[in-house]
Structure 1
Amino acid sequence: MGIDEYLEQRFEQLALPGLSCSFGFGEQIQSYAYGLCDIESKRSLDVNSIFNIASVGKLITSVCILKLAEENSFTLNTPITELISKIPSQWNSVKISHLLTHSSGIINYTDVPDYWAECSLDVPKARILEYVNDRELTFEPGSNWKYSNTGFYLLGMIIEKVSKLDYFDFALKLISECRPGLKILKTDDRLSSPGKVTGYLRKGDKFVLPPYYSNSGTFSAGGFSATLHDFLEFERALFNGEILSKGSLAMLTQPFFKEDGSVLSGPDVKLKFEMTHGLFRFRRSGRTQLAHGGEIMGFKTDYMRMVDADFSAILSANTDTDFGGLEMLNKIYDLAITKY
């Protein structure tokens, strides 16, 4: 079975509005698209369609922070109190590395009901922090792991403070200096643009439009949209050493060690992983795999890289249905190494 045949088969089995995938192996990037860009106008999805990649965009935030650290703006051991003013005293021992590795103990603001009551509002950054700044840390920073969008939101604020630029401007400048013209852009659900994909919520056997979701609540925790091909162009330039030094790339690929000398790992016994400075690290069939998922109203995306094989892939659907994206990417890898 070929990759195209496999993806088309899965698309039909899952009954998704649309499905797209890009993978890179060596010098080659292949892209595929199936179904509809939007149901209402019945526009067909194609390889240039633009998806909301949600938390997969956290990789971009990690790269921006590592780049600024290379420029001696700070170190990863710098306490965030040195870079962000007016933060709760219980965050005084939180370092930048803790934000990158989800080991800060700071509560995830998307776990707070008040956030969801206001997620359609364009609120200031201070309001996002108000959801969590009176909550105690769930553990001592650096001692444990718990996913926190708040940590990556704070990283965006640090990027703005240090660079004196808007977070999105800084990130897109960094990307364009390496690969000009890539369709990677700030998400804005209020704007229509050519190729923009419409996301849907599944309600029984139907798909419905989600309510407006403000990017002010996503920001550096996942506020980018992109064509999958262009995201992979950026990702492959990154891991080819065109943006960061070898030392910084090692931070993305190697596990984070806690102060007691043990590796920071996730609590999921079903899918065990180690945490790097921004990515989840697995072992599969003797190979090191890096991965990150993204889910937001109307979209589901999964990204992975097989470090030892120089293979990377990203898969998106325009519904937030969990369709086993990482398992599909592993299947695509198995098919690709047989063919190429």
Structure 2
Amino acid sequence: MKFIKPLGKLLLATFLFFSLCLQQVYPQSLESRIDSLLQATFTPKGPGAVFLVAKDGKVIYQKAFGMANLELEVPMTPNNVFEIGSMTKQFTAVAILMLVEQSKLQLDDEITKFIPDYPTQGKNITLHHLLTHTSGIKSFTSMKSIRDIERQDLTPIELIDFFKNEPMDFEPGQEFKYNNSGYVILGYIIEILSGESYADFIEKNIFQKLEMNSSQYASYSEVIKNRAYGYHQKDEFMNKNFVSLSLPYSSGSLMSTATDMLEWNEAIKNNTLLKPESTAKAFENCTLNNGENINYGYGWHISNLNESPSYEHGGSIFGFKSMGVYLPEEDIYVIGLSNCDCNSPTVLTRDIAKLTLQNY
């Protein structure tokens, strides 16, 4: 029965063909589902975004949508540079932990150790309180009088002077209340102990070390290659409002790309900058005085996504919004960067992480 051999070969070839097709369809289906989510939000002629998904440190999805510059009709590319807003807090927190490892400070140090004349109103306010948003210090971004200084270039101590005499919101450690003032004070302490500006410290000790070559402290005057321009939307799109970058400072003035932010996540995961025990502190779910968890560590929210542990943080600054989600057990990282504060990537980034989780 000579036909058996050709039939066997045909069956084998058919099996191999369908196996190959299944391998190819699997990631394509995830890609198409992510595409559908993002194309529903980011139109080709409006402000855009860049989204990146990585599994085990390898990029499995990276695309750009919309425009990087509306006036010049420049399309967004995966290499565009965005202001990342409060994701800056991750870098500030890690810088503080680096100084802890250098024995230059301790997390339970009171802030008056570094700023002796800071009016603590009789309270014991520690660096731990600043890192976890539990200090009770008034957040300067919630003060109506911020309008009086928003365009002024202030030194860090001038910015601290702006809010330091405000009444405390609560006793240190009593509540969690998101607070930009605390991270401004941390940035100034980094400057005091390092003898260099916050921007220089982050550049030398983080960006250069990790070869995050497209990341920097933001600047309006400097020509920045691949910069995405920021927008607001009212009845129509508008160029973003001007605010001095000395105000967000160490709480929100860094710029980066999706690719560089993956490098950052990999460095944290692999303990490139910190010892494992120091990294663990950043992701410890801290507690209030009464023992209640606050679901925040040092610069990251501690959350869950489909019952998987998740480390997350977003950023919002005039004209830009950002969001990063890392699932440590599955080693999945998703970052979304948008150049209009009308299009928050927060829900999209979490939804993309859920889709990816379902596929791996």
Query: Would you say same fold, with TM above 0.5?
Result: yes
Quick check: 1:22–1:229 contact (8 Å CA) kept in 2? yes
Matches of 2:209 and 2:340 in 1, distance apart? 31
Correspondent of 1:250 among 253, 270, 280: 280
> Counterpart of 1:329 in structure 2: which amino acid?
T
**2:299 aligns with one of 257, 278, 288:** 278
Residues 189 and 212 in structure 1, CA contact (< 8 A), matched pair in contact too: no
Q: Which residue does 1:41 correspond to in 2?
A: 72
State whether residues 84 and 157 of structure 1, in contact with CA within 8 Å, keep that contact through their aligned partners in structure 2: no
Equivalent positions of 1:117-196 (< 5 A) are 117-176=148-207, 178-196=209-227
- What's the counterpart of residue 332 of structure 1? 352
Provide structure 2 residue ranges, at least 5 long, that are not aligned to the other structure.
1-28
- Residue pair 1:101, 1:275 contacting (<8 A) in 2 also: yes
Match of residue 70, structure 1, among 101, 111, 120: 101
> Structure 1 residues 158 and 91 mapped into 2: Cα distance closer, same or farther (>3 Å)?
farther
TM-score by length of 1: 0.91
Give the deviation of 1:58 after TM superposition.
0.8
Partner SS state of residue 50, structure 2: strand
The structure with the larger Rg is 2
How far apart, in 1, do the equivalents of 2:286 and 2:237 lie?
Answer: 41
Task: Please give the alpha-carbon distance, in whole angstroms, between the structure 1 residues aligned to 2:230 and 2:343.
Answer: 14
1:23 is matched by which residue type in structure 2?
V
Q: Specify every segment of 5 or more residues in structure 1 that has no aligned partner in the other structure, as ranges.
A: 266-273
The 5-angstrom pairing of residues 242-321 of structure 1 reads: 242-263=272-293, 265=294, 274-321=295-342
Deviations 1:138-178 (A, max 9, x none): 11111211111000000000100111111111111112453
Q: Secondary structure at the match of 1:217?
A: coil
**2:249 corresponds to:** 219
Structure-2-length-normalised TM-score: 0.86
Q: How large is the RMSD of aligned CA atoms in angstroms?
A: 1.8
1:237 aligns with 2:258: no
The answer to whether structure 1 residue 54 and structure 2 residue 85 are counterparts is yes
What CA deviation, in whole Å up to 9, does each residue of 1:223-276 have, x standing for no partner?
A: 10011111211121111111111111111212112333332x2xxxxxxxx111
Q: State the match for 1:2 in structure 2.
A: 30
**How many angstroms apart in 2 are the aligned matches of 1:65 and 1:91?**
25
Question: Which residue of the partner structure matches residue 233 of structure 2?
Answer: 202
Q: Is the 8 A contact 1:178 1:242 kept in 2?
A: no
- Give % identity: 26
Give the direction of change, closer, same or farther, for the CA distance of 1:322–1:33 in structure 2 (3 Å limit).
closer
State the SS of the aligned residue for 1:170. helix
Is 1:27 equivalent to 2:47 in the alignment?
no
Residue matched to 1:269 = none
